[in-house]
Structure 1
């Protein structure tokens, strides 16, 4: 049986078709997507007749050796994946892309997201004789694909996708084609690009920048695109569009130089900081941001409020992102290694600290304590997102109320817990105002409001609510 935390992951995918340096480009692109997953990586490539793959655990340079990448060099078509795994599923068998061999043809699969009916589908498939080798959602999709009665590949893909509920961005590699698909809510990001006349796809546009590709556009919810030697074909697997892009992609996950609908994440985060300054009435000497994903919001807050912006916290660049570091003890250790106050800047000052979110409170508590130790006179915490109160079932590793401090404490109790002089969150209304100003067609705010746009079929939600009621 799945553990609640074992079904969620937040990852990055890339694919390219028809380029003589496909594997090399995929490796470089995955390196730029490393912030989306640090526990495993892989590449599957096609020579037009067969698929070949390599994968491993750890960061990209640990997971894939130079020799492995070189072995895939002759092949012009490839997909790649970097993976974040929970503690219970961080094993090689779950590292993507998956490579399946069969008499009817090879299949490579990579995805970002989470199926909310995976357990339901798995049980049904097992009752019909299917055998599973991993705990990954994507293996369920592979079985659905192979069992489809459709006579062509696109028909099989559509049939499989229509049986899935949840949030997903797919890269599906056959010997003769690369197919990509987005769920009908568009929760997870996927972009279309072009390099040297060849089509490519990525979870973020920073991957295109890394390889020198042109960013064409974002995939639309429910869209299905097939790329082959014949060119590119646009289609849909769903005609029910309910745009609900993940708010946390804008707030935290995406790199600041990535773009959504041709608007940079940096500009959006800066606007969130400006909006926060309208709701946070605090007298202070300086504004500082928590590196790196909060720096734009801090700059926006400073510009709007007129309070000077300073680099009062420095980041150790060799420590990964603590939010996606498995295990609470590991997170606490990583925070201590990661952030250091600059005494000369903060000593004797009343400080506003801007962070993009508070999940468990570990980072915030350490920051306030460290700044006070460095001589800060007052420490006021501003958060450029609403209180994160509810679990995510769409691909982020926060899957129980027990992990989320705002689900069981008021803002004032959280302020007391982290030791700040004041704590102010951005309101849900202001957040949506900012998104709409950048052309948003709809955002998922379930982690803030509990309004889940996609049905959770696997009875996980009742289990989580029961855990909360028992104080687990």
Structure 2
């Protein structure tokens, strides 16, 4: 992940396996491949002949599962696991997943990737009806809905509940008899099915986890789909036909590992195409191209290849600096940046540098990177971003909840350039992003969610809508309201809950 994008996070990674003799250890390896999706906590629940056993804790996977005895206790041939970064819920072990529920008619494990937009309303309603929550995570809401459903069987209860929750979600559930995955009607979060040589099935947030455990990709789980894996194999069912693919474009820009494939598109290749398109849209007079480690390196190679400039290693990232490093003073904050990134004076001194990063969030890190390069003797620093300006918050599983956090929501490109101190600043266009990723042409924005860039949300914002509108200036609110009514590619889509931009009370 690039230096700037370390400021924002995606919620978590999911991994599940059915039918492997060492399910817990396999799940550990799968989660290790997904550690970039969440570093706050981790957990694994196994199924040993219908008996569910779990262990979870705060910290990295290696810290939570540091004792070999944990694996001997987590026996069974089936398992689900989770690595977490919180977008909803405080940093507490009570919020670490998978959640393990014990009922008189059988145990259930549940974990979730994403964020529910109507969680607050549902939770309030459930509490008023007598529900008692063990955590403050939005994940737990689904299980309360399942237990209150009037449907006669578990699958009917699950389908009914999935039609009540809104927003972005990829769920993994494990009962005594099956491993179940479910994706929201827009498919905001990726989920893939793989099969191992011994016949075991694996579900994972990214295909890199399938590769790690030696599983062959079978298929991607689509919007509105439920997959049920049991001893007889797997089957796919739909819980809704009101679907519209809008996978989070951030997965391609920086969340997913470069060796992952999303709907058949390799992430590294997509990022490289973003860099090539960026070079076409924003050529600069420079001596070299430098990528900000790590996720911007693919885009940098594309920019260098298209522009004919050498791709140099002008920034070095220290891979051993803890992400939780706390800097109580400005002086120590500056030192923290130097601990994470170092400019290579022997490479950049006296040179005109084109620096490639995948986004600008608050702008503070970009400003420090420009300063590092200038202190190392760079003659010119041109900042080039392989995505459009981040102007709007995400409500589907990324912790950007207000526009005030985003520098592009408050400043023009020229003002941002002046703030970070670069000689020039250029962003990839929205069309350039969509074309570079190359998703489904028959879906709005090629099947991507790009609301962070243009405010065109594919769903209603539910509990977030009022605060979001209040965070906008009157001009922005008017413009977005008109955009939603007249220009939105979702405006005539029957699957989009209307209105996304109503008047504030």
Task: Give your verdict on TM over 0.5.
Answer: yes
Q: Does 1:462 align with 2:463?
A: no
| Aligned equivalents of 1:84, 1:325: Cα separation in 2 | 17
Distance change in 2, residues 1:362/1:115 (3 Å): same
Q: Is the 8 A contact 1:115 1:168 kept in 2?
A: yes
TM-score when normalising by structure 2? 0.87
Matched ranges for 1:367-382 at <5 A: 367-382=369-384
| Aligned equivalents of 1:34, 1:331: Cα separation in 2 | 25
Structure 2 gaps of 5+ residues are 1-8, 475-505
TM-score when normalising by structure 1? 0.93
Distance change in 2, residues 1:340/1:120 (3 Å): same
For residues 251-289 of structure 1, give each alpha carbon's deviation from its aligned partner in whole angstroms, at most 9, with x where no partner exists. Answer: 010011111122210000000000001110311000000
Tell me which residue corresponds to 1:178.
Answer: 179
Tell me which residue corresponds to 2:31.
Answer: 30
Q: Does 1:444 align with 2:449?
A: yes
Distance change in 2, residues 1:317/1:354 (3 Å): same
Tell me which residue corresponds to 1:239.
Answer: 241
Q: Is the 8 A contact 2:89 2:137 kept in 1?
A: no
Q: Is the 8 A contact 1:87 1:326 kept in 2?
A: no
TM superposition shift of 1:325: 9.9
Distance change in 2, residues 1:294/1:57 (3 Å): same
TM superposition shift of 1:355: 0.3
TM superposition shift of 1:88: 6.6
| Aligned equivalents of 1:333, 1:197: Cα separation in 2 | 51
Matched ranges for 1:49-448 at <5 A: 49-67=50-68, 69-85=70-86, 89-195=90-196, 196-319=198-321, 334-436=336-438, 441-448=446-453
Match of 1:51, SS state, is: strand
Q: Is the 8 A contact 2:119 2:138 kept in 1?
A: yes
Match of 2:139, SS state, is: helix
| Aligned equivalents of 1:404, 1:360: Cα separation in 2 | 5
| Aligned equivalents of 1:82, 1:300: Cα separation in 2 | 31
TM superposition shift of 1:61: 1.1
TM superposition shift of 1:152: 1.4
Structure 1 gaps of 5+ residues are 1-7
| Aligned equivalents of 2:66, 2:335: Cα separation in 1 | 29
Which stretch shows the higher mean deviation, 214-223 or 104-113?
214-223
Match of 1:89, SS state, is: coil
For residues 127-177 of structure 1, give each alpha carbon's deviation from its aligned partner in whole angstroms, at most 9, with x where no partner exists. Answer: 111111211111110100111111212111101101011010010010110
| Aligned equivalents of 1:163, 1:465: Cα separation in 2 | 24
For residues 442-472 of structure 1, give each alpha carbon's deviation from its aligned partner in whole angstroms, at most 9, with x where no partner exists. Answer: 10001001111121111x23213324549xx
| Aligned equivalents of 1:427, 1:380: Cα separation in 2 | 17
Distance change in 2, residues 1:11/1:410 (3 Å): same
